[in-house]
Amino acid sequence: MLLRVTRTLRSWCDFENGATLGSQGSESGFILLDEEYLHAARITLERATRVAPFAITCGVYGRLLHTRYFGPQARALSEYAAMKNVLQEIVDGFDSDAPRMRTRAQQALEEFTEKFPA
């Protein structure tokens, strides 16, 4: 079954032009959704993982790698969309090299893992 998430976020694109869809992901499941934002963040939804029916693995390159597991498909899709929104906000906050912005970005990453616990 093909899953779709409403793509309301701009600048997200299929990772590797969709070449990873259907292949085995990092959680040993089948990749259903795999998207990248500005070559800075990635989020992947897998089905039939070794731990749970669904897994979401996401990251901000060089700063965060985070995985969550879900039973119900509807919850996994809902969380995927919510996590994607917050990842975009975090990456957009990295625009400045100012020390204060780097500190805020690190704080945002910590808040992300609290808001979306493993």
Residue owning tokens 């906000």: 89
Alpha-carbon distances, residue 7 vs 4, 17, 50, 62 (angstroms): 9, 15, 28, 25
CB 34 within 8 A of CB 46: no
pTM of the model: 0.86
pLDDT by residue (tens digit) across 26-81?
Answer: 999 999 999 999 999 999 999 999 999 999 999 999 999 999 999 999 999 999 99
For 81, the token pair is 């969309």
Mean of per-residue pLDDT scores for the chain: 89
